[in-house]
Chains A and B, each alone.
Chain A
Amino acid sequence: MRGDDKKDKSAGYQRVVLKNASPYHYMKVCLVLEDESTKLSAVELKQFIITGLKTLYGEVGAALNFDLLKYDEDTRTAFLRVCSRGLVKLWSSLTLLGFYQNQACAFRVLQVSPFLLALTGNSRELQLD
């Protein structure tokens, strides 16, 4: 855009605004538990995340809209969708969750992206041979 006015002054400015208004953000998270054998269903996971939101942000935080798109019970890996304005809230409540039913746990946020397609691969795990 900046280069244009040098070449052709008569063309004038054309202002292009990219608002980057992606409505949702997608997160790939993995729940690590102290006791690996604990089973956790999708409903329980979502309930657990809502509890975390509620302890950190109260009822208003618990009202945050987010969806559990996909969940793998064996690896406890989940895909979450959250509206972009709620990303910081959801992420920080995931960070500060430390206990699941009196056992230590941690959410490992593996990937965050405004595009769901980006979560299909992870550039950090690429093996360049």
Chain B
Amino acid sequence: MSVFMDLNLSYTTDKNRLQSVIETAAHLGFSTVAINYGFEPTAKKKQEIPTPKPINELIDQLPIVQGRSRPIRVLNRLTVVMSDSSHFRPNAAEYRSFDLLAVQPTTEKLFHSACMLLDIDIICISVTEKLPFFFKRAPVNGAVDRGVVFELCYSAAIRDSTMRRYTIANALSLMESCKGKNVILSSAAEKALELRGPYDITNLGLLFGLSDAEAKEAISSTCRSVLLHAETRKTASGIIYTTKTCSDSTCQQEAPARSELCEAPAAKRPHLAE
């Protein structure tokens, strides 16, 4: 089984608060978290794309994940709020320093291009407003085929009851078109008390129209495929993972290493039984 991940922790300049959020995430059992840097370009003036802070500057000692005796993995992620197609600059050098790339489209047209064209990993679904457009089946299916995932954040639902309504409504309308595939649930937490445990989120996924298995995938294996998708984005064609399997007594040197090939989009990768 895949480990639990939370691919959205809001970045704050308050170092202590960020540390306590990461520590809480490790304590709750998340093995991987991503610190999210928001970027909202406006038409008037040119803004700088934020640069990620190195992890060792943010936190001195990575906390141990509960139950796994292994330190937590912390990644960086950029979310671009798009209100115009020029806001996302493909091949921008600034994007390369981030492990994950996400966009939040605000119009139907941009949603379509984000699903079908843009070289990204995650499409954020807005949960703080009534959905400005309808999720059409064609772009959603296109995104599923390409291995791009949709992200729903739940911490807004904890903060405010109006946001909770929007979160559930938007989630349900997303599930109508994507049928629970390629969805990740993440927190977008700013404070440690806005984080919830992985099994709590699985249960919450039932409210969002996911089935038991889909909800669990949404915080574990789908997140893993996002990370692999992000790695393929950085390279020319794909990535190969090999693990040496020590077979019985005769540890063959040239045993065919199990490899996981992903030239195809993450969703279409052949899954090898481990």
Contact = CB atoms under 8 A, between A and B. Distances in A.
A124 interface: yes
Nearest to A94: B200
A55 B161 CA distance: 8
Interface in B179-215: 191, 193-197, 199-201, 203-204, 206-207
A95 interface: yes
Helix, strand, loop or mixed for chain B's interface?
A: helix
A91 interface: yes
Contacts of A88: 203, 206-207
A69 interface: no
Interface residues of B, number: 21
Contacts of B44: none
B184 to A, nearest CB: 17
A32 to B, nearest CB: 7
Given A96-B157, A98-B158, A106 B195 contact: yes
Contacts of A55: 161
A98 B193 contact: yes
A104 interface: yes
A92 B196 CA distance: 11
B193 A92 contact: no
Contacts of B200: 91, 94-95, 109
B203 A91 contact: yes
Contacts of B157: 96
